[in-house]
């Protein structure tokens, strides 16, 4: 009876430790990409991304993301369009210098994942659920995802015009295990 009790206690202790174990910390590596496209000739990249990532495929409850993108790092391939995008007519980089995403929950979705969190752009915070995949290579890995956001939800630019309301984003973030 004592053996059974101690075996059960040991199993319960191990389960508790695993449930509350921290997720692996990952450092964002060079060569990340954040591309956007809004139809026609509107598109480009953001060149500066930073953040913290704790992610473990076996412990999603302890996993989280806190990512920020510098609005001033926008590059459309056209200096005049870059200046216009940073102006108060669009992103207002002087007043709102960062685009931020902070996760609240991560779940498995088939062979990939979904992260729900707060996206803050242009002073507007909105909860979004974004799909992503993770390619784990041991000490390195790559997060990637494609999704759309409605620029009007974040009061970016005026409705209508040459820029579509839905902006497609392609994100690829290589990481190194800390």
Which CATH number fits the domain that encloses residue 169? 2.40.128.110
What are 40-92's pLDDT values in tens digits? 778 999 999 999 999 999 999 999 999 999 999 999 999 999 999 999 999 99
Q: Is the pLDDT of residue 17 over 50?
A: no
Q: Is 10 domain-assigned?
A: no
What are 83-93's pLDDT values in tens digits? 999 999 999 99
Q: Which of 114, 32, 45, 55 is nearest to 82 (CA)?
A: 45
Q: Is 116 domain-assigned?
A: yes
The answer to whether 141 touches 133, Cβ cutoff 8 Å, is no
Q: Is 9 domain-assigned?
A: no
Q: Is 5 domain-assigned?
A: no
Q: In the chain, how many domains are there? A: 1
Domain that holds residue 120: 22-177
Whole-number percent of the chain with pLDDT over 90:
78
Q: Is 80 domain-assigned?
A: yes
Element (H, E) at 2: helix 2-19
pLDDT value, residue 134: 97
């Amino acid at each position: 009876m004592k053996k059974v009790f101690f075996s059960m206690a040991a199993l319960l202790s191990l389960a508790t430790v695993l449930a509350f174990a921290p997720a692996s910390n990952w450092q964002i590596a060079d060569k990340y990409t954040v591309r956007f496209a809004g139809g026609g000739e509107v598109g480009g990249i953001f060149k500066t991304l930073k953040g913290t990532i704790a992610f473990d495929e076996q412990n999603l409850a302890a996993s989280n993301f806190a990512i920020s993108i510098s609005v001033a790092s926008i590059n459309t391939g056209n200096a005049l369009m870059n200046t216009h995008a940073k102006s108060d007519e669009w992103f207002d980089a002087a007043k709102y210098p960062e685009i931020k995403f902070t996760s609240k929950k991560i779940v498995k979705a088939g062979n990939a994942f979904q992260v729900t969190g707060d996206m803050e752009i242009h002073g507007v915070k909105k909860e979004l659920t974004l799909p992503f995949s993770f390619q784990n290579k041991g000490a390195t890995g790559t997060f990637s995802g494609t999704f759309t956001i409605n620029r009007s939800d974040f009061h970016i630019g005026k409705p209508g015009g040459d820029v579509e309301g839905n902006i497609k984003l392609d994100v690829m973030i290589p990481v190194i295990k800390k």
